[in-house]
Amino acid sequence: MAAAAQLAVPPALSAEQAKAVLAEVIKAFGAPENAQRMEEARDNACNDMGKMLQFLLPVATQIQQDVIKAYGFSSDGEGGL
């Protein structure tokens, strides 16, 4: 039970590694298929902030999670292993 209660510790990244991850995330957003997904989500939101959260945020989160999982982060949004 105690082991289940422990919090997962995210992987440690150096400043250089963090910069590399960020560069990869930015590159992923620029990939044609991801840019199209973001544009479609933006169009569906119709410039409404609530709809932006509903349509755009999940797409953006998925794109960045696809990159960071290669660095040992989980894709559950919790940041641990």
Q: Which tops the pLDDT comparison, 2 or 11?
A: 11
- Of all residues in the chain, the percent with pLDDT exceeding 90 is 58
Domains: count for the chain: 1
**Predicted confidence (pLDDT) at residue 1 exceeds the cutoff of 70:** no
Calculate mean pLDDT across residues 16-41. 95
Report DSSP letters for 20-74, one per residue: HHHHHHHHHHHSHHHHHHHHHHHHHHTT-HHHIIIIIHHHHHHHHHHHHGGGT--
Asked whether residue 62 is assigned to any structural domain, the reply reads yes
Contact between 63 and 25 (Cβ < 8 Å): yes
Dist. CA 45–CA 58, nearest whole Å: 12
Asked whether residue 28 is assigned to any structural domain, the reply reads yes
Q: What is the DSSP letter of 14?
A: -
Asked whether residue 25 is assigned to any structural domain, the reply reads yes
Helix, strand or coil, per DSSP, at residue 6: coil
Asked whether residue 21 is assigned to any structural domain, the reply reads yes
**Which pLDDT score, from 0 to 100, does residue 10 have?**
65
- Of all residues in the chain, the percent with pLDDT exceeding 70 is 78
**Predicted confidence (pLDDT) at residue 3 exceeds the cutoff of 60:** no
Domain that holds residue 23: 15-71
